[in-house]
Structure 1
Amino acid sequence: MTYPPDLLPRTKTVPFARALAAHGDRTALVTRDGETSYRELAARVAATAQRLGEERRLVLLAGANTADALVVYLAALAAGHPVLLVPGDNDEAVRSLTAAYDPDVVVLPSGGEWEVRERRPVSAHDLHPDLALLLSTSGSTGSPKLVRLSHENLQANAESIAEYLGIRDGDRAATTLPMHYCYGLSVINSHLLRGAGLVLTDLSVADGCFWELFRRARGSTFAAVPYTFDLLDRIGFAGMDLPHLRYVTQAGGRLAPERVAEYAATGRRNGWDLFVMYGQTEATARMAYLPPHLAESRPQAVGVPVPGGSFRLLPLPDRPGEGDTGEDGTGELVYTGPNVMLGYAETPADLRLGRTVRELRTGDVARRAADGLYEIVGRRSRFAKILGLRVDPQQVEVLLERHGITSYCVGGDGELLVAVTGDADAQQVRRTVADACGLPRRAVRVHLLPELPRLPTGKPDYGAVRRLASADGGAPAPSGEHGRPRRLRERNLLRNRGRGRGRNRNRGSGLPPTGPGCAGSTPRSSTAPTSPRTAASSAWAATRCATWRCR
């Protein structure tokens, strides 16, 4: 295949995006419409790369789990054009990032096709030679703070993931996460690197059609965030017949240790592995993984560094009573490896910058256990100072988790905000949390919700929890409970609640009914379908630019 960089040998590119044709007639993509071979995919990518041209330009791509979006992404990487990957299902994010970064090329769906709008023939920006990809730090919003990733970052992380997962060219991974989310994108990159197949879909695992496609495509793996496992419980995943499933990966937030052990045991019985993983966008997705054979015995650990990476623990001088790495062996987890980002971008001027970061301070508080495995024990930035006391909201979530209550906790203005679901007793939750944290009960505000707020990626939406502080509905502190905290009470924490974990988990989530048929297919997001991009199209129509369709 011929790419523009062949005419510009100094242009840096991502190797796996240029090596697609080497995988020949193996299946690259599986969709509901059929299969595409690597040879066919490479031809489409090369043609699109030629259309993007020889001059490096900033390409904004509305990410989606479709062949057209994937072709544009790979074409830009293969031709050396930096990609600003935005959530395609969020019109406001597309508009705000377009306004903030003034891309030279905008690619988005229009009228059932993918339209490429060339706003100018040469870039308006000074683009650093190493810059390959820009991802939002917030995952799904239009925040202008972006992570700058290099060609080396993408290649190194794909190679590392493919190595520890043991990805084979016969594997087929379902795209259960959005393309614009670093975890979802890492699935795409690592499988293309090894010549494996991608089952492209935007269906939820709660949809019967997803599993029909997964079986028909001989799917061997899928990626999950913690919320995914709640959905899997509801559809009876443990009893499904999935003859080609080799492993399931989990990242995107902490999964309760008992849930890790539970699913690891299910996998052992059914012949597949569970890989618990840990990462951040700033590390191009992955920093650590827990070897599957340890998932049942060490479910609280995130494991060991990925191949090519390393950890160290940084002292936390602001934690009273701690030494170099704390009396309990804890410290801030710092990661070093070839997948560490170049740095952040907050304005277009930052796109000219090279590497400004050598190691990644994760912000997570961790310890290295005697067996060499790392455990995350808290989030440094989430620690809250409430009435002079230092409180770790994550540990509050763990406390409530032991009683079968899923909660999101954040520090507010002089109070701890606790959002819970189901039939939990708000007053008992308040008393237990206050006593455990040494806080007066008036400093704990509990909100009972039908469903906890989540981002489109499935991660907790802690911003939404903070906004509850200004709304009515927090359970008021009852009379006589404003005094000094009493001893920790954990009895009778739940009212009219069974002990079984699965029976009442996340009651009232509004999960649509599923079944073997495809009627009423469920999109991944729980929000209403997005409206047509009429406003965005009108805004861009004012720009005189050449347009062409992706074929």
Structure 2
Amino acid sequence: MRWVRNSHPNPKTVPFAGELAKHADRTAVITADGTLSYRELAARVAATAQRLGSERRLVLLAGSNTVDTLVVYLAALAAGHPLLLVPHDRPEAVRSLVAAYDPDIVVHPDGVLDERRAVSAHMLHSDLALLLSTSGSTGSPKLIRLSHENLRANAASIADYLGIRDSDRAATTLPMHYCYGLSIINSHLLCGAALILTDLSVADARFWDLFRDARGSTLAGVPYTFDLLDRVGFEEMRLPHLRYVTQAGGRLPADRVERYSALGRRRGWDLFVMYGQTEATARMAYLPPDLAASHPQAIGIPIPGGSFRLEPLPDWPDPDTGELVYSGPNVMLGYAESPPDLALGRTVEELSTGDVARLGPEGLYEVVGRRSGFIKLYGLRIDPHRIETMLARDGLISCCTSDDEGLVVAVTGDVDAGHIKRLVAAECGLPARVVRVHVLAELPRLPTGKPDYQAVRRLTGPEPVSTTDLCRLYAQILDRPDVTEDSSFVSLGGDSLSYVEMSLRLEKTLGSLPADWHTRRIRDLRRPVRRARWRTLETSLALRAVAIVLIVGSHITIFTIRGGAHVLLAVAGFNFARFHLTSADRRDRRRHVLSGLARIAVPSVAWIALAALVTDDHHLGNALLLESALGHNSNYWFVEVIVYILIAMAAWLSVPVLDRAERRSPFGFALGVLLLGLAARFDLFGLFDLPSAISALWMFPLGWASAKASTSGQRLLVTATALATVPGYFGSGELARETIVIAGLILLIWVPALPSTGSFNRLAGPLAAGSLYIYLVHWQIYPLLADHSQLLALLVSLACGVAYAAITTSVMRYAASRSFLRRRHDPDGPGDARRPRNPPNAETGHERSPTMPVEKGGGG
């Protein structure tokens, strides 16, 4: 072992950092904000290297997939400064490693360079280039020491077997501080290829927009990434420039290797299954794409420049099986556990991987177990990996480990914990009482996407969901950065359009939801409920989804089941009462109603105006939404009636005496409004000569009264009202239509939620959320296709409405968040002239304390 003072190595030993300029004006980095050429990147790296200075110092970098972080990383390597790379989103890990290693320079996540001393406090070996955490131990003082030669050799080897071209464009789908993610950066910069630099998840539609626009050719993932790809419909995506997909970071089940390999063959790209460890810089083996279908269980062959041998093991007597030992120029220098270890040279010549492998007759290696991963219980040697593989054959994603009491298994999906317990116990020969099974919505994972086995060991009940996580979810969906534990869906201005997405996301996170979740504080929702095999779907959401399908299908004449529009009117009244009449502040109520009115009227006017411009069926006057009020027949009568009702509701909320009356007797007030609607419905005493569409508005207060009915007697009264008033409304011969409306009302009044499944919820959710917009757009869509295929016309109408809903929601959310931020930044401006500096808590009516903490949400 040797060490030297802090002299510089030759920067050219890391060409992907020191020789960027040779690629001249080729594109180096692509982000959502623009591009950087290699010449521009080299200039920024050189300037940053100058800032870091000529004296070698230990640099700690909080790494994220951003241009600034990339520049610091390359500058440190090019100038010879040993770099300690840590995750930017783990402040506790940063603090721990700063305390343990006392770096000379700390580069914070916001890009601020904290120069703690001009001359290093440490002895730094001349070969030392990079320090990374061992897999699964982020924040631990045990680090892996990598040399410039390790980085250069592994990048060159990866570029060789992947055949990376200078025209390739690789997306950073993995964190930069993770060796797999870092190897993508190193190998592509070595070849003059481009990086699509992003922190976006593959589950985010914006990632795919960026990937397509950038003509992405390379996609990388750990097994969890492939779970996400399955969820977002990767199989059906058109990615014309994709050349290959790589997988590492854990075993991908053989059946999924086969499936993705076959998908690649159909779509014209290759699948590279790879094997590696941070101790080997990144990669040690790869499976050639042409062998993935026939040998999906194999890790493949050593990378160029590397080799394997099998160390015999007493418990594995097969001569072709043993511990996998790797040799090559990418094997680490050794471990560091404290600052004095930074002065050490090479202490490791070959890498004992800890994996038990078998060499097949085709010359391919296959990992069959883990030497140190066996668990001894009741005198039995148990391989957790074998249990995970067994469950994977049944399509279950799981983590298996042990604690002091026995075996701990975490599994996702709609499964029965008792069944899994019995299955695992039988497989291992253990008594069922020593197997604990936790059914979770998602497995706990490290930032790299790998399973977090330590978190699994700590499980003592259902998956814990923190209020911070829930606050972030609320902030993301409602675009409100001011979410706190005391907020509720209603207090944050949620309405029926965002309610669908919120309820489905919460049910997935927490399990079944209480009927009044929308008025409960977030702190009161955090207790998780164990997921059952059957899911539930709130009745109002189910009615919205079913009704819109019936409406569109009846218009196309696939079938004739009428009454859906009137059910939707009642549901609109039901939701109005739940979302707009719970705030303690009259101005907030009115503001919520006007916001809901805008979310309906603006996209409706825009769509009808567009239809008038491109078709002969409408004129621009239709866009004023006055046809029903003028007594004219209108395809959009349902939208127009909703708009009229919301205008009327905003008007009465402006009258303090009416507002107070509603607060004193919510059900009685709703009943009074219903009586006014029934007067119009029956045209009592000839006082009301209203157009037929307007007379339907009585369904709205009927739904309103259903929501405010809090006792069995009140529900019976509303039910009796429906049974007495619906028959005869549509004229003679409309028994089926009346039955549909009455059935919908009875469900709304008496049944809070219906039994469902996860699959049906995923289908019903977008239909319910987009019901208004589907009604709006289907008039223009289905005539184009009905003559060819009525079923196709139905499906396309539904899809177009859902798409228009998504566009409208995005635009409205953006506008709302901008308006909110303007109010926050200008509290004395005209928009807040009538509002208290500290807005009242919607649950209590009391003013919120100026010192109340605000959770930082992810969607703000």
Structure 1 and Structure 2 fold alike (TM over 0.5): yes
1:229 and 2:226 are equivalent in the alignment: yes
d(CA) in 2 for partners of 1:426, 1:299: 30
1:335 and 2:326 are equivalent in the alignment: yes
1:476-531 residue CA offsets vs partner (Å, 9 max, x unmatched): xxxxxxxxxxxxxxxxxx9789xxxxx979x99xxx9998867899xxxxx98689
Counting only pairs closer than 5 Å after superposition, residues 376-391 of structure 1 correspond to structure 2 as: 376-391=367-382
Bigger relative CO (Cα 8 Å, ≥ 6 apart): 1
Q: Residue 109 of structure 1: SS of its match in structure 2?
A: coil
1:416 and 2:413 are equivalent in the alignment: no
**Which residue is equivalent to 2:147?**
150
d(CA) in 2 for partners of 1:380, 1:94: 31
d(CA) in 2 for partners of 1:174, 1:450: 28
d(CA) in 1 for partners of 2:136, 2:418: 34
**Which residue is equivalent to 1:431?**
422
Deviation of 1:434 after TM superposition, in Å, equals 1.4
Deviation of 1:157 after TM superposition, in Å, equals 0.2
One-letter amino acid of the counterpart of residue 401, structure 1: A
Residue range with higher mean Cα deviation, 38-47 or 11-20: 11-20
d(CA) in 2 for partners of 1:414, 1:314: 33
Deviation of 1:425 after TM superposition, in Å, equals 2.1
Q: Residue 390 of structure 1: SS of its match in structure 2?
A: strand
Of 185, 207, 211, which residue of structure 1 is paired with 2:208? 211
Q: Residue 394 of structure 1: SS of its match in structure 2?
A: helix
Change (3 A) 1:430 1:192: same
Deviation of 1:11 after TM superposition, in Å, equals 7.0
**Which residue is equivalent to 1:480?**
none
Q: Residue 109 of structure 2: SS of its match in structure 1?
A: strand
**Which residue is equivalent to 1:121?**
118
Deviation of 1:215 after TM superposition, in Å, equals 0.8
**Which residue is equivalent to 1:308?**
305
d(CA) in 2 for partners of 1:530, 1:91: 16
1:460 and 2:451 are equivalent in the alignment: yes
1:240 and 2:237 are equivalent in the alignment: yes
More helix by share: 2
d(CA) in 2 for partners of 1:178, 1:432: 36
Q: Residue 341 of structure 2: SS of its match in structure 1?
A: helix
Counting only pairs closer than 5 Å after superposition, residues 29-40 of structure 1 correspond to structure 2 as: 29-40=29-40
After superposing on structure 2, the runs of 4+ consecutive aligned residues of structure 1 that deviate more than 4 Å are 7-13, 494-497, 512-521, 527-532
Counting only pairs closer than 5 Å after superposition, residues 22-421 of structure 1 correspond to structure 2 as: 22-110=22-110, 114-138=111-135, 141-317=138-314, 319=315, 322-323=316-317, 326=318, 329-421=320-412
Change (3 A) 1:9 1:132: closer
- Aligned-pair identity in percent equals 70
d(CA) in 1 for partners of 2:415, 2:372: 28
Q: Could you tell me whether the CA contact under 8 Å between 2:13 and 2:152 is conserved in 1?
A: no
Tell me, which stretches of 5 or more residues in structure 1 are unaligned?
Answer: 1-6, 475-493, 498-502, 522-526, 533-551
Q: Could you tell me whether the CA contact under 8 Å between 2:12 and 2:18 is conserved in 1?
A: no
Change (3 A) 1:369 1:8: closer
Q: Residue 108 of structure 2: SS of its match in structure 1?
A: strand
1:448 and 2:448 are equivalent in the alignment: no
1:16 and 2:16 are equivalent in the alignment: yes
Deviation of 1:13 after TM superposition, in Å, equals 4.8
Q: Residue 36 of structure 2: SS of its match in structure 1?
A: strand
Q: Could you tell me whether the CA contact under 8 Å between 1:139 and 1:180 is conserved in 2?
A: no
Tell me, which stretches of 5 or more residues in structure 2 are unaligned?
Answer: 1-6, 464-531, 536-756, 770-801, 815-854
One-letter amino acid of the counterpart of residue 41, structure 2: L
Deviation of 1:438 after TM superposition, in Å, equals 1.5
Deviation of 1:430 after TM superposition, in Å, equals 1.7
TM-score (norm 1): 0.83
One-letter amino acid of the counterpart of residue 289, structure 1: Y
Q: Could you tell me whether the CA contact under 8 Å between 1:145 and 1:345 is conserved in 2?
A: yes
Change (3 A) 1:195 1:270: same
d(CA) in 2 for partners of 1:129, 1:168: 32
Deviation of 1:437 after TM superposition, in Å, equals 1.2
More strand by share: 1
Deviation of 1:455 after TM superposition, in Å, equals 1.0
* Number of aligned residue pairs: 483
TM-score (norm 2): 0.54
d(CA) in 2 for partners of 1:250, 1:132: 26
Over alpha carbons, which structure has the higher Rg?
A: 2
d(CA) in 2 for partners of 1:275, 1:77: 28
Q: Residue 106 of structure 2: SS of its match in structure 1?
A: strand
Q: Could you tell me whether the CA contact under 8 Å between 2:136 and 2:452 is conserved in 1?
A: no
Deviation of 1:401 after TM superposition, in Å, equals 1.2
Q: Could you tell me whether the CA contact under 8 Å between 1:87 and 1:93 is conserved in 2?
A: yes
Deviation of 1:447 after TM superposition, in Å, equals 1.5
Q: Could you tell me whether the CA contact under 8 Å between 2:9 and 2:80 is conserved in 1?
A: no
Deviation of 1:446 after TM superposition, in Å, equals 1.4
d(CA) in 2 for partners of 1:218, 1:187: 17
Q: Residue 316 of structure 1: SS of its match in structure 2?
A: coil
d(CA) in 1 for partners of 2:344, 2:377: 39
d(CA) in 1 for partners of 2:197, 2:408: 39
Q: Could you tell me whether the CA contact under 8 Å between 1:383 and 1:411 is conserved in 2?
A: no
Deviation of 1:108 after TM superposition, in Å, equals 1.4
d(CA) in 1 for partners of 2:149, 2:9: 17
One-letter amino acid of the counterpart of residue 391, structure 2: L
